[in-house]
Amino acid sequence: MTAVMTGGCLCGAVRYEAAGEPVFSLLCHCRDCQRASGSAYNAALRMPAAGFRITRGQPKLYVKTADSGNTVSRAFCPDCGSPLFLKVSTRPDLVGIRAGTLDDPSIFRPEAHVFVNSAQP
Ligand SMILES: [Zn+2]
Ligand SMILES: [Zn+2]
């Protein structure tokens, strides 16, 4: 799969594209992802940062130090608040795109559950 994936927020103010193949697809059950997504877990595709770019608008960033000690920058739409993607300080080569923001989320195939200690029953 070499096609360029596209996606964006609920209101359409922020759009992005991501080229290349997903490096890893996961469901994250950490408490930060639960709060930031408003859901039980976060479904994310880790894509090569080199192939990722914003094509419309400018997301706002929320930066927080995770329990792991890593700095996590979460990008969201300043207008509608949709969470879009995140970056982890230790892996600047990757972007974690929230699967639900893809124009075609059906390509998402989770390979692992992470932070299952805080997963909801
Ligand atoms: Zn929006
Ligand atoms: Zn998480």
**Proportion of the chain above pLDDT 70, given as a percent:** 98
39: pLDDT strictly greater than 80: yes
* pTM score: 0.91
101-118 pLDDT, tens digit per residue, is 999 999 999 999 999 999
State the pLDDT at residue 66.
84
Please tell me the distance between residue 82's alpha carbon and the centre of ligand 1 in angstroms.
6
Residue 25's pLDDT band (boundaries 50, 70, 90)? very high
Please tell me the distance between residue 43's alpha carbon and the centre of ligand 2 in angstroms.
9
- The b/e string for 77-115 (b: 16+ C-beta within 10 A; e otherwise) is beeeebbbbbbbeeeeebbbbbbbbbeeeeebebeeebb
Please tell me the distance between residue 25's alpha carbon and the centre of ligand 1 in angstroms.
24
State the pLDDT at residue 2.
61
Please tell me the distance between residue 14's alpha carbon and the centre of ligand 1 in angstroms.
6
